[in-house]
Amino acid sequence: MRRRTAWLTLALFCAVALLVFASLRGTRQEASWSASESARLTLQALAWSRQAHLQLCSQPRPSTPQAALRAVEELRRAAELNPTRAALRRLAVMQAYVGDSAWQQTVIRLRTALDAGTSFQADAEIALWNRVLGRGSSRRWLEQDITSLRQMGLGWYEHVAAELAYRNAGDFAGEERARDRALRSTAVLGAVSAAAVLLGLCGLGLLAVGIGYVRVYLRKHDPLDLPGFLRPTTPPVLSPAKADLLYLVFIVFLLSLVAARFAQDVLPAALFGRDIRQLGTGHRLAYSFAMLGIMLLPATALLVAGGRRVGLRAWEIGLYRAGFWKEAAFGALCWVAALPVLAASLYI
């Protein structure tokens, strides 16, 4: 019996190792690494861009702030790793904002972007950027160009692009409005971040106080006097046969997650006929939800059904580990740690 349990334990650990390998496999692929590294650089560049914009608006300087140089450099690296239209647009906007004439070459690269449309669409967009960032739009084209910018999904960079468009067109009132919107967005983001940190600290404080209160309460009272959700839970006792069956259920659960992770590489082509890097934002979101459901729902249903076969309810499965001491530790590792790894692998 002990030998069979040991083999089952070894198989379970091998399944966990295979799961981790499958989750991290994308980092070894050049395309996946490029996309993830580009996303990281884009997020860092956004912080530097906001800081540079704030510095240039509050204290204009004859030289370019270091934050602006960092923003342009990281956007340039992101566009080299993953040259999509969105990456090239952000780079061109910040290059024009800091006075770097290289924005013209960046705009021309829109013709060869990974998700470039037809040559007519590329030429129309290049003409738009030449008006917005360069010679300036005429009064007749200005509002139409601003509307086109808003439809590109530039995010915060939309305000900077609109500021440049109004400035180059000689509409200084519009430039002031666009600048105020960009600064307001940065201020709101800072306020939300500060509020999140404050709430997190308050939550940690309340958690510490709650744990301390429960520990003091347990010294003076019977644990059964605690509210139901605070009472310690003892995993039910299983027979050796049911314990071995539970091990097999965990192994099948993890292997099903591994299979779903490998299916992630072929599903975009099957569903949309394109690589995931070429999908639009809406399709990416739909694909993420689809993969989350495909990965988690069937595997979790299988795990719960297997637990039912051995007499465990759903919430007890995560607390139980058969055959060894500290039952809750290993069950919690499989139930809690495996799922976030798979969910995070959607974005690797």
CA 315 to chain centre: 28
Rounded to an integer, what distance in angstroms lies between the CA atom of residue 137 and that of residue 130? 9
Domain extent at residue 288:
238-345
Residue type for 76, please? R
Q: Note whether residue 11 is domain-resident.
A: no
Query: Where does a domain end: 162, 192, 222?
Result: 192
Query: What one-character DSSP code corresponds to residue 12?
Result: H
Taking only the tens of pLDDT, the chain with its 348 residues reads: 455 555 555 565 565 555 555 554 444 444 455 666 777 788 888 888 888 888 888 776 656 678 888 889 999 988 888 888 888 999 999 999 988 888 989 999 988 887 777 888 888 888 889 888 887 777 777 888 888 888 888 888 989 999 998 888 888 888 889 889 888 888 887 787 777 778 778 877 887 787 777 677 667 766 566 565 555 555 556 667 666 666 677 677 667 666 666 666 566 555 555 555 555 555 555 666 666 665 566 666 666 666 666 566 554 555 444 333 333 444 444 444 444 444 443 333
Query: Where does a domain end: 159, 177, 192?
Result: 192
Q: Note whether residue 164 is domain-resident.
A: yes
Q: Note whether residue 78 is domain-resident.
A: yes
122, 238, 242, 247, 248 from 8: Cα distances, Å: 58, 16, 13, 6, 7
Q: How many domains does the chain have?
A: 2
Q: Note whether residue 233 is domain-resident.
A: no
* Helical packing angle, 338-345 and 281-309, nearest 10°: 160
Q: Do 159 and 243 belong to one domain?
A: no
Q: Give the residue from 272, 301, 300 showing the smallest Cα distance to 288.
A: 272
Q: Note whether residue 223 is domain-resident.
A: no
- Sign of the Cα pseudo-torsion (224, 226, 229, 233, in order): negative
pLDDT of 91 reads 92
Q: Do 180 and 243 belong to one domain?
A: no
Residue owning tokens 């299979």: 259
Rounded to an integer, what distance in angstroms lies between the CA atom of residue 75 and that of residue 49? 10
pLDDT of 325 reads 33
Could you give phi then psi for residue 314, rounded to 5 degrees? -60, -45
pLDDT of 154 reads 83
Q: Note whether residue 141 is domain-resident.
A: yes
Residue type for 266, please? V
Q: Do 66 and 179 belong to one domain?
A: yes
Residues 282/284/288/291 CA torsion (nearest 10 deg): 110
Residues 245/246/250/251 CA torsion (nearest 10 deg): -20
Q: What length does the chain have?
A: 348
Q: Note whether residue 40 is domain-resident.
A: yes
Q: Do 138 and 242 belong to one domain?
A: no
Q: Do 305 and 187 belong to one domain?
A: no
Q: Do 184 and 262 belong to one domain?
A: no
Q: Note whether residue 199 is domain-resident.
A: no
* Token representation of residue 96: 């024009």
